[in-house]
Amino acid sequence: MTDVLRYSAFTTDPAGGNPAGVVLDATGLDDGEMLAIAAEVGYSETAFVLPHEDPDSYRVRYFSPEVEVPFCGHATVATAVALDRVGTLTFHTPAGPVAVDTDGRTATLTSVPTSSTPVSADDLDRALAALGWRHDELDPRYPAHWASGGARHLVLAARTRQRLADLDYDFAGLRDLLTAHDALTAHLVFQREQDVFDARDPFPVGGVVEDAATGAAALAFGGYLRTTGHVTGDRRLTIHQGDDMGRPSVLQVDVRHDGDRVRVTGAAVRL
């Protein structure tokens, strides 16, 4: 029987954060077996660790209950803590190599190069229809983009916190739009303060209504802010996610104005 560890990431409280499964030795498991394990665990992602010839490196794959994904931030944080090592590790993921600095309780991930491109008018209309949002409920300072930091996400900014809080969306409609653009979640944000955002991430592509913390989307959002001119110097952001689900999560995001990689930091605790 495969041993699956369970951690919650981007929190120090087991009642908060986003749960992830971690298989520290996935040697011998094929794709179907990994997917079946992830489906049985039922979390938004389970990470499967495989050996690498470099002793400070690992191969890592990520499965949601329905599909394999190229990268997952919260499961990476959970894996780094579960490995119980201190120092800099490299996770070789389907999205590319990700540097992970860990002290055994927290982890800082450095993304692959980020990218961000505008959403077409037609796709924005489809996204808003699926979410039940109006155009005038969007924050005009933040244009709709497809953004990536290892996995692709739809970035939309709400004008009010109430709009973000009232999330009731067309699961199939949003899933189909995201899938058509090889995206995983809709990263819905509200700017609470200058460097503080609230976020929610529907994840219908993986068969999950909502993520409580989405490190991959936080990395993509950091790159989005740089691309859209909101980062003119080095900037540290705090993203609060999961509050509306009753699983508060905190993600610290560091963005450099002169680089295309973003860092996200979070803690993890065993469940």
pLDDT by position in tens, the chain (length 271): 689 999 999 999 999 999 999 999 999 999 999 999 999 999 999 999 999 999 999 999 999 999 999 999 999 999 999 999 999 999 999 999 999 999 999 999 999 999 999 999 999 999 999 999 999 999 999 999 999 999 999 999 999 999 999 999 999 999 999 999 999 999 999 999 999 999 999 999 999 999 999 999 999 999 999 999 999 899 999 999 999 999 999 999 999 999 999 999 999 999 9
pLDDT of residue 1: 67
List the end-to-end C-alpha distance of the chain, in Å, as a whole number.
Answer: 19
pLDDT of residue 119: 98
Q: 104 and 120 in one domain?
A: no
The label of the residue with tokens 């999205």 reads: 95
CB 170 within 8 A of CB 129: yes
Which is it for the CA torsion 119, 124, 126, 129, positive or negative? positive
User: Within 13 Å of residue 202, how many CA atoms lie on the same side as its CB?
Assistant: 25
- Residue-wise over 84-103: b if at least 16 C-beta within 10 A, else e? eeeeebbbbbebeebebbbe
Q: 140 and 47 in one domain?
A: no
Residues in the chain: 271
Q: 62 and 189 in one domain?
A: no
- CB within 8 Å of 160: residues ≥ 6 apart: 137, 190
The dihedral formed by the CA atoms of 239, 253, 38 and 97, expressed in degrees to the nearest 10: 170
Q: 141 and 260 in one domain?
A: yes
Distance, in Å, from the CA atom of 96 to the CA atom of 98, rounded to the nearest integer, reads 6
Distance, in Å, from the CA atom of 113 to the CA atom of 115, rounded to the nearest integer, reads 7
Q: Are strands 87-93 and 57-63 parallel, antiparallel or unpaired?
A: parallel
Q: 147 and 68 in one domain?
A: no
User: Could you give the number of structural domains in the chain?
Assistant: 2
Q: 79 and 174 in one domain?
A: no
Q: 66 and 192 in one domain?
A: no
Considering 48, 78, 108, which residue would you say is the last residue of a domain?
Answer: 108
What is the reported pTM? 0.97
Backbone angles phi, psi at 195, to 5 degrees: -120, 25
Considering 108, 136, 156, which residue would you say is the last residue of a domain?
Answer: 108
Q: Which domain holds residue 167?
A: 115-270
Q: 154 and 24 in one domain?
A: no
CATH number for the domain spanning 70: value is 3.10.310.10
pLDDT of residue 43: 98
Q: 125 and 94 in one domain?
A: no
Q: 141 and 31 in one domain?
A: no
Considering 88, 108, 128, which residue would you say is the last residue of a domain?
Answer: 108
Q: 148 and 27 in one domain?
A: no
Q: 141 and 261 in one domain?
A: yes
